[in-house]
Amino acid sequence: MIFGRNYDWITGNGMVCTNQKGLAKTSNKTKDGATISWVSQYGSITFNQYGKEFPTGGMNEKGLVVEMMWLDGSKYPVADTRPAIGELQWIQYQLDNCSTVDELIETDKKLRITAIGTAPLHFLVADAKGNAATIEFFDGKMKVHSGKDMPFPVLTNNAYASVLNQGRVAVSAPSIDYLSFNDNSINRFAKACYMVKQFQETDISMPVIDYSFSILDKVAQGTHTKWSIVYDITNKKIHFKSLGFPQVKYIEFSVFDFTCSSTAKAWEMNQALTGDIVTLFGNYSEELNRKIVEKSFEESRSELTVSEEGIRETWRYPAGISCKKVVN
């Protein structure tokens, strides 16, 4: 089971973090709902630009992967009786609490992404059982594609339902060179569909991790593509590279200690290293978190407007988290 993603954005600044299980957390207060509190059930490894606990994506120790993409037209629920949470903290909540795609979908009954001050996103998720789903929000309601409703386990920057026909055209094409759509996002969707189908139906000798990166390379957007990540769900291993540092690095879950009493680890993304880098991870620190957060927000000013108070609140947030004994 392999999950690949390109992270396309205006800044490639970021870090890889471990997240411990057994931590008691309360979500940041939003402007349109109550907070929600929980104790993390699973350890995870995440990719973070805007602070620890606010990842752009990651995988937990059960093999659940949650990744997000921009989607203009997304409309999160308006205020109701459910607690509200930010769009990036929603990702961490899922990794903390869910082991499967079905469990993640069920959380829609318990909490919602706030409709105020959040970026319009949709999500591609997968688990170790082989399930995958797109999670989208239209007219304030969660829309899920999975199983038979999801013939292509691919997502770009269009609503999933709107590009299914292009996917069907793609997989019947004689070669990837025949694919050309005016919309860049649709073009990337079609090419990824074609290459996934080729791997499923033809004898491709290339190792699956290498083939996954070849798909990501084919749909990359030049310097706009900052990171390429391949999650090996079956073997609990993550491979990745970044713009300017194309050497593929990898880390394995089995090497990290995710118990609550252990210290979280972190590693800055953009370094010229290759292979197994797990021994190079240092202890997470508030100083590193502040450095990453401030630089990421500074480099994102053309797309994101966040107050200095909001930035401080973001990098300080993990300091308020502590271990709590889980009672079975």
Domains of the chain: 2-323 (3.60.60.10)
- Residue 305 banded pLDDT, cuts 50, 70, 90: confident
Residue 298 CB partners (closer than 8 Å, separation 6+) = none
222-238 pLDDT, tens digit per residue, is 999 999 999 999 999 99
- pLDDT > 70: what percent of the chain? 99
In our burial notation (b when 16+ CB lie closer than 10 A, e otherwise), range 129-167 reads eebbbbbbbeeeebebbbeeebebbbbbbbbbeebbebb
- For the stretch 23-70, pLDDT in tens is 999 999 999 999 999 999 999 999 999 999 999 999 999 999 999 999
From residue 246, give the alpha-carbon distance in Å to each of 56, 104, 188, 204, 266: 20, 33, 21, 23, 20
Q: Does the pLDDT at position 276 exceed 80?
A: yes
For residues 131 and 102, the answer to whether their CB atoms sit within 8 Å is yes
| Average pLDDT value for residue range 210-218 | 98
When pLDDT is averaged across residues 249-254 and rounded to a whole number, the result is 98
Contact predicate 272/255, CB 8 Å:
no
Residue 177: pLDDT over 90: no
- Is the pLDDT confidence value at 327 over 60? no
Say how many residues make up the chain: 328
Number of H helices, E strands in the chain: 7, 19
Token pair in block for residue 44: 């995870």
- Contacts for 149 with CB less than 8 Å, ≥ 6 apart: none
Between 324 and 43, residue with greater pLDDT: 43
Query: Is the predicted pLDDT of residue 325 greater than 90, yes or no?
Result: no
Which letter does DSSP use for residue 262 in this model? S
Tell me the sheet residues that pair with 232.
2, 237
* pLDDT bucket at 315, cuts 50 / 70 / 90: very high
Average pLDDT of 305-326? Answer: 91
Residue of 184, 100, 132, 68 lying closest to 76 (CA atoms): 68
Q: What is residue 15's three-state secondary structure?
A: strand
pLDDT for the residue numbered 324: 85
Average pLDDT over residues 193-213: 94
DSSP states of 147-201? GGG-SS----SS-GGGGHHHHHHHHTSSSGGG---SSHHHHHHHHHHHHHHHHHH
Computed over every residue of the chain, the mean pLDDT equals 96
The mean pLDDT of 109-113, rounded to a whole number, is 98
Residue 314 DSSP label: H
**Tens-digit pLDDT profile for residues 146-156:** 999 999 999 99
Residue 326 predicted with pLDDT over 70: no
